[in-house]
Amino acid sequence: MEGSRLRIADCGLRHFSMSWPALLALTPASSEHRPQPSPPCPMSAYPLFDAHPRLAALPRAGIFQTPTAVRALPGYDGAWVKRDDLSNSEFGGNKIRKLDLLLGEAQAQRRRCLLAFGYSGSNFVAASAWHGRRLGLDTIGLLLPQAGAPYVADNLATCAAAGAELALGQSSAGLVSQALARSLRRLATQGRWPYWMPPGGSTPLGALGFVNAAYELRAQIEAGLCPEPERITVAFSSMGTVAGLAIGLALAGLRSRVVAVQVVSTQFATPAKLDRLIAQTQALLRRYDPAIPTRAAAVEIRTEFYGQDYAVPTAATTAAMQAFQQASGARGDSAYSGKALAGYYADLQRGLPGPSLYWHTFNAERRPRGVSPLPPERLRGYLLGDRC
Ligand SMILES: Cc1ncc(COP(=O)(O)O)c(C=O)c1O
């Protein structure tokens, strides 16, 4: 197999398109560039909860370092970036806002274990494992194969360092039966059913993290840190980020609309599913405070930047990631931020009226400090599923 390209028949990984030597060569030796977290800021971390005090009954884990910075993006007039990659100095990105509420609920319910679904390189599974471990919760990660990309190895190393129990399946149905079997085992050994989280943590509760994020942006606009954007561009996958932002922008009285760049198959993220998640999130808000109106900002879903497959970059993805890294110093990824950036830069180049804001969702760090890359044979084991 040396030097050959893996195909379906080789290992059963449907989407795997990178040769093994290439993937293993990407396993990083060190993390040279360590961006700093956002500077301390007197703004509240929970402006949504300040505005609607009845929501205070919702437990939160307190794992994010917000507000995240908002900065001008050099190269274009009126281009701005919201740096959610700096939402936590160990493992940041957009998942932290959802996990803050999900882990808060898991703690309040006295669960001992989290159960998270995702692709092999899932940012969500890795962030759950890392932050769960910090809070004394184990993680079971149930993974589906995906195209190779550098961040896959980094996230698997993070999961392993956090002691996550990982299993690779070949279909969603297979994963669910694995999840049931492993949950029953935890029930028997720990006396508690694990806290199940869907891919990306996009439950109505998770989405509230992004309703709060929109209030955070409003506070930054009011403080003169950035102008009110005409449009906010962000990756669209398990939909919790877009659903939360759409609701939060409208409730916070901002006129921005959301440009949601599709980064997963249209089988998973659709306008109808987004509408459902928005309605469920609004219903959750109104359960706590019936005076909260059912408003949501307009969302424009853009599918033309997806390309061939999940996490497989197009030429525009690669060019946008490079331009963004040069302009901001922040890294991107081929699955989410690279495709959202391709959409963002395309709109800037078309000269659409601004100001506009790109919401950066990828984790700034390759791996948390002190986490080493996995040895090649262990990485191969995770990717080929011989740990199931
Ligand atoms: C880095 C990154 N950006 C964006 C997204 C998309 O967010 P959502 O799943 O809420 O649509 C994800 C989700 O998996 C992600 O990992």
The per-residue pLDDT for range 353-373, each reduced to its tens digit, is 999 999 999 999 999 999 999
3: Cα separation from own chain's centroid: 33
The rounded distance, in Å, linking the Cα atoms of 19 and 186 is: 37
**Pick from 233, 279, 235, 274: nearest CA to 256:** 233
- % pLDDT > 70, the chain: 88
Provide the pLDDT confidence category of residue 27 given band limits of 50, 70 and 90. very low
CB 336 near ligand 1, within 6 Å? yes
Q: How far apart are CA 228 and CA 246, in angstroms?
A: 15
Ligand 1 atom at shortest distance from the alpha carbon of 93 = 1
In this model, does residue 29 exceed pLDDT 60? Answer: no
Q: Which residue has the CA at smallest separation from atom 13 of ligand 1?
A: 200
Q: Which amino acid makes up residue 315?
A: A
CB atoms within 10 A of CB 377: 8
Rg of the chain on CA atoms, in Å: 20
CATH architecture of the domain with range 47-96+202-360: 3-Layer(aba) Sandwich (3.40)
Domain boundaries, the chain: 47-96+202-360, 98-200+378-384
Q: What are 261's strand-pairing partners? A: 235, 302
> Which CATH code for domain 98-200+378-384?
3.40.50.1100
Q: C-alpha dihedral over 207, 211, 213, 218, to 10 degrees?
A: 170
Contact present, 40 and 213 (Cβ < 8 Å): no
The count of other CB atoms within 10 Å of the CB of residue 288 is 16
The strand ranges marked E within the chain are: 70-72, 79-83, 113-119, 138-144, 165-168, 195-197, 231-236, 257-262, 299-302, 356-360
* Amino acid 198: pLDDT: 94
**Is the Cβ–Cβ distance between 97 and 65 less than 8 Å?**
no
What distance in angstroms lies between residue 240's CA and the mean position of ligand 1's atoms?
8
Q: Which residue has the higher pLDDT, 40 or 231?
A: 231
Pick the closest to residue 220 from 42, 96, 16, 386 (CA basis). 42
Say if residues 46 and 65 touch (Cβ distance below 8 Å).
Answer: no
Retrieve residue 333's tokens.
């990824």
- Cα(53) to ligand 1 centroid in Å equals 28
Q: How far is residue 384's CA from residue 290's CA, in Å, rounded to a whole number?
A: 49
pLDDT tens, residue by residue, 267-311? 899 999 999 999 999 999 999 999 999 999 999 999 999 999 999
* Residue whose CB lies within 8 A of the most ligand 1 atoms, among 100, 119, 128, 238, for a mutation test: 238
Cis peptide before 353 (omega within 30 of 0): no
Ligand 1, atom nearest to 237 Cα: 11
State residue 170's pLDDT score: 85
Residue of the CA atom closest to atom 9 of ligand 1:
238
Residue 83 to residue 332: CA distance in whole angstroms: 12
Other C-beta atoms lying within 10 Å of the C-beta of residue 90: 20
What spacing in Å lies between the alpha carbon of 93 and ligand 1's midpoint?
9
Helix 240-251 / helix 204-222 crossing angle, nearest 10 deg = 50
47-96+202-360 and 98-200+378-384: identical CATH topology: yes
Instruction: Determine if ligand 1 sits within 6 Å of the CB of residue 334.
Output: no
List pLDDT tens digits, range 75-107: 999 999 999 999 999 999 999 999 999 999 999
